[in-house]
Structure formats: C-alpha cells, structure tokens
Amino acid sequence: MTLSPSTTPELLVEQQGRIAIITLNRPDRYNAISRDMLNELSAKMVEANKDPEIRCIILTGSGKGFCAGLDLIGVGEGNIGGGAKDGNRPARQLFDLRDAPINVMWNIDTPIICALNGPAAGYGMDVALLCDMRIASETAKMAAVTAKRNVVPESGGTWLLPRLIGWGKAAELYYRARTVGAEECLSMGLINTIVPAEDLMTTALQWAEEIADNAPLAVQTTKRMMRMGLEESYDTAVDHLMVHLGGMFQSEDFKEGVQAFLEKRKPEFTGR
C-alpha cells in the first residue's frame, strides 16, 4: 500500500519506505490548524495506521513553527468549534471527538515521532504531547498559554502533562501560562532530545528507521499495553500482556527473531 495524496496543500504527506512523514503546512500562520487540516490530519493518521507497510509516523511543521494552535481567526468566523455558522447544528452535536486528531493520535498503535521544529502552543502543544517521542530543534518551545486566552488545554493537555512531568510542574506551566525553551523542556522531560535545526529530520528519520527495523507487532502491542496500562491495575496489565504474548509466540516474526539471534544476523520482520 501507498499513502494517498493529501486533499489540502495545508497538510503534506510523504512516504519514505516504511515511514510516513506528515507536515503541517501553513508556515505563514505558524501552522495554525484550520478545519481542512484537522480533517486531513485525522484521515492520514488513520490511513498510515492501517497500512501494514508503515511502521512509524513522523509529524512536523513547515517554516519556523511547529503549530501555533487552532486558527483563532477560523474560530472567530465559526469555522472551527461551536460557532453559529457551523452548519447551524445544535451544540450537542459538536462534541463528538472520535474522529478528531487528538483522539485518533491517542488510539492508533503505530508509533509517532514529533520532529518539533519550532514553537508549539495551545492545541499545537497538545498535539506534540500526544506523539510518543519528541525530538526538538534548538529553536523549539512549548507554550502553555491557554490561561492568557481564557480557555483550557481542551485537547488532552490536562490529562497528558501531569503524567509526563508531574502535577507540580504541569500546574506551574498552566497556571503561570509559561513558555519554555528547548533546554528547559528537556530538563522537565517534555522532550527526548535536542538537535541542531539542520539535523532535526535526519535524526527523526534515524529513530524512525530503528523503530521500523523491529518487529511491528511487538512495537505496536507495546504501545497499546503502555496506553492501556495508564488506567489498569498491575495484575490486569500483566494478564493482558500474557494474552498478547501467547499469540506472538505463534507468529512468523517470533520464529524469525529467534533464528536471527541464533545465526547472529539482523532479523527481517514481515509483520506476520
């Protein structure tokens, strides 16, 4: 399978072998999210997750910013969210978020690397946090500034951030509406590493290839079990892991992994 082209120039999609690269592409607006971008980002994440040939997704932004959040001009015009111009639908119909990028990204099993090329604010910060790993350029920033707009981190941030860095640090960022640079993000545990801007995509692709070299079922099951484990007891999590493990022992990739170990060679996993 091959990823289909994006339906909007505001989102770029590229496939390099086993890796899908999705780029937010409104550099003149620091990649503020429009309605077209919302819909297409969800669709491409789902498509990549369903493609057995794709083993990792890289999400990044074009230009100087990663994502400035939801397009506030679009919100004001009723083009995003609950504006009266949004088809005149009752408000109760506007909160079905099953197909929203924030829910799609949380629920897919294909690993996502964020190549954080610049500032991420509001919705953009939440999207970055929803990625499994964050590789940041030296110019990257996280802007937890929702309190300055009289809004809340509605896209998962209040759930994600305390789990990533602890209650106290999350409270500090949100209540003070702080913007933190790459070095402080690293010290807090918000990002995995910092690289020079010119090395950002090279590093992201290297990490993605290392992920792609591993058994896809093992990687995806590990991600699912980590996600589910956030809400499970220890005993329940171990029980679920053993159920998955029984099926994996019967797979071709398990046999290949053992054989490659015995033969002292690199395994060639097929996902079967």
29-80 pLDDT per residue, tens = 999 999 999 999 999 999 999 999 999 999 999 999 999 998 865 554 544 4
* Model confidence pTM above 0.85: yes
CB 35 within 8 A of CB 67: no
pLDDT of residue 76: 46
Fold observed for domain 11-213 = 2-enoyl-CoA Hydratase; Chain A, domain 1 (3.90.226)
Dist CA 10 CA 37 (whole Å): 6
The two three-digit tokens of residue 224, written as one number: 């699912």
Q: What residues does each domain of the chain span?
A: 11-213, 216-263
Helix (H) or strand (E) holding 169: helix 167-176
Q: Which of 153, 142, 86, 101 is nearest to 119 (CA)?
A: 142
pLDDT in tens, 76-109: 454 444 444 445 555 555 556 778 888 999 999 9
Dist CA 87 CA 139 (whole Å): 40
Instruction: Write phi, then psi, for 24 (nearest 5 degrees).
Output: -70, 130
- Read off the pLDDT of each residue in 167-179 and give the average, rounded to a whole number: 96
Dist CA 269 CA 272 (whole Å): 8
Q: Which CATH architecture has domain 216-263?
A: Orthogonal Bundle (1.10)
pLDDT classification of 150: cutoffs 50, 70, 90: confident
pLDDT in tens, 210-250: 999 999 999 999 999 999 999 999 999 999 999 898 888 99
